[in-house]
Each structure stands twice: as C-alpha cells, then as structure tokens.
Amino acid sequence: MFNRAQTILIPVISVALGLLIGAVVMIVSGYNPIDGYGALLKGSLGETFYIGETIRQITPYIFAGLAVAFAFRTGLFNIGVEGQLLVGWIASVWVGLAFDLPKIIHLPMAIAAGAIAGALWAFIPGILKARLRVHEVIVTIMMNYIALHLVNYLVRYVISDEQNTTDRVPESASLKSPFFEALTEFSTMHYGIFIALAGAIIYFIILEKTSTGFELRSVGFNQNASEYAGMNVNRNIVLSMVISGAFAGLGGAMEGLGTFGYGFIHGAFSGVGFDGIAVALLGGNVAIGVVLAAALFGILKQGALIMPLESGVPTELVEIVIAIIIFFVASSYIIAYLLQRFKKGAQ
C-alpha cells in the first residue's frame, strides 16, 4: 500500500510525464510543443466559449468516472458504463418527451429515469455475478452492444417515426441553460455540471460516511473476511453495480437533456463510458480525484479540437498523451519504487 503523499504524487507525476513525453513526440514529428500546448490551453480555457465547452465535456466524464470508481471500490470492474450511459440517455429523453409537466417535476423525473435505467442495466450483470458467479467484465461488455443496438432501435421505431433523431425534449425537461449559453457565447454548457458535482459529493457520502459504504468497501477489500464478519456479500455486489449503473445513467441523462437535448442513432459508442475507466484510474477511485481527473480529460479533449487549427498539431496527439498518463498510473509501483529510491538517496 502507498502512503497518502504517494497516492497524490503518483497521478501528478504521471500527468507530468505524459505531457513531457507528448512534447517529445511533438518535437520528433516536427511540431513546436510550446505552440501545441499553448493551443491546447487556449482551446480549452482561453476564451469563455471554450471554457463553456470544456465544462460541458467534463460533466459526463465525472459521472462515468464515478460509476467505474464506485464498482471498483467494491472489487467489481464495470466495463459496461458506456451501455448504462446510453440507456440512461434514451430513458431520460423518452420521459422528457412523453410527459407534459411543470419543470419542477418533469426535469427531476427525466433525470431520475436516466439513473433508474442505468441502474437496471447494471443490475443484470450484478445479479448474474452474485447468483451464478458469471464474471461481470464479460457480461458488462456484452451488455454494451445490446444497449447500443436497443437504443438505436428505440430511437428509430418507438420514440420517433423512423427518423434518425428523436424530437428535442421540451423546455420543461431540459438542462439547457440560456444563461450560460449567453455567458459563454453560445457554448453548449448546461446545468449538468452542478448535478455532476453533487453526484461526486453523494459518492463521497455513500462510500465514506455510511455503514452501507463501509460494507461495500469491505467487500472490495476481502470478500471472505466480509462474509465471515456477517456481511451479505451477494447483496453488496448487486447494490454496488446498481449504484454504479445509476451514476452512469445520470451521465447519459446529462448528455440527453443537456448537451444534445435529444436522442439519436449512434453510429458507434460515444466513448465517454470507456474514458470513464481511465478517469477513475487516474482519480484513484476517490470523489475529488475523479472530479480532478475528469477536469483534466475535459481540458485535454476539448483543447485537442482546436490544436490543429492553431498550431497544426493533430488531435491524435492528445490520445497519445492520455495513453501515456494511464500507462504511468497503471504502473504506479514503478513510480513509487523510484520515489523511495530517490528518498533513500537523499538521506
């Protein structure tokens, strides 16, 4: 186990190394890394419009990261965040379109629908794991594909009349924010970021401040010991997956009610759910870490879009940087070892 300072140092060093190696890659491929990173910063934080877009980008990353992290703390690997996000997305849009209610009821209901759909989608691998010991990684991966094609079918044949997109959700179920849009010169920023931050606080409270959270973490550390201590391991596995799925579903609701405001036929996975795995890993599976990691990912991904325009550096460079960061986080023992050597040398 690492001590406290190390758990903070390792991600920071990984990010620094990732950016450093990214700079080397830029030099080798004939670009100026200062221009490149300058453009990246400008494109993510340099103008109010870009800030708005970055915050919008961060929102689903927080939820996806929380979803992966929550399951991970219980010793489960939820690869199905992508699928849970998609069903949450379409469920929230569906509820948004199907009812005509005052905003104070309609919007929470649509958001809740997203969470419930995600939770149900994660319940299936949870119950299969608990009852039959089917490995959740396999089931959640498969469920992603089922979700993708089910959602596409629903969009085309059930919610819309053979269209490629659903109608836009009415204002009463929309997270869109004319206020922020005006403030950030028509970026797609919406109120979801506050819900995401609230989600992170709830994540912290459930895991760290409740006895349920204690049980969940305990099962994550050692199933046998937990069972011996009188905890119901199977129940905790299902519960963990359900809560994880609810976070993922909320992420989908943010996209469905906020960023887009409608559902559409997905030609491929959105990728947010998979990036959530990296966000959780980098964030050390704790609430504040996930928020910070999501912010970093949002900045990198958003800035990447502007890099080619401003500095000619292709967007793919950011993928390389992210991959290197994840590589170093994943091999954190190397960094911990080096830190120790460094300390000893100093003494």
- Residues at the interface with other proteins (CB under 8 A): 49, 53, 56-57, 103-104, 107-108, 111-112, 115, 148-149, 152, 156, 162-165, 171, 174-179, 182, 185-188, 191, 194-195, 198-199, 202, 205-206, 210-212, 243, 246, 250, 255, 259-260, 262, 264-268, 270-272, 301-302, 304-306, 308-309, 315
Shortest distance, CB of residue 312 to other proteins, whole angstroms?
9
Shortest distance, CB of residue 229 to other proteins, whole angstroms?
16
Helix (H) or strand (E) holding 283: none
Rank residues 167 and 227 by Cβ distance to other proteins and give the closer one: 167
Q: Identify the three-state secondary structure at position 190.
A: strand
Rank residues 211 and 224 by Cβ distance to other proteins and give the closer one: 211
Q: How far apart are CA 175 and CA 62, in angstroms?
A: 17
Residue indicated by tokens 């609810």: 246
In sequence order, the 6+-apart residues with CB closer than 8 A to the CB of 186 are 49
Rank residues 33 and 303 by Cβ distance to other proteins and give the closer one: 303
Q: How many beta carbons lie within 10 A of that of residue 176, not counting itself?
A: 20
Shortest distance, CB of residue 233 to other proteins, whole angstroms?
15
Buried residues in 26-48 as b, exposed as e (16+ CB within 10 A) = beeeebebeebbbbbebbbebee
Rank residues 164 and 340 by Cβ distance to other proteins and give the closer one: 164
Question: Do 109 and 99 form a contact (C-beta atoms < 8 A)?
Answer: yes
Shortest distance, CB of residue 187 to other proteins, whole angstroms?
7
Rank residues 174 and 226 by Cβ distance to other proteins and give the closer one: 174
User: Which tokens go with 339?
Assistant: 């830190």
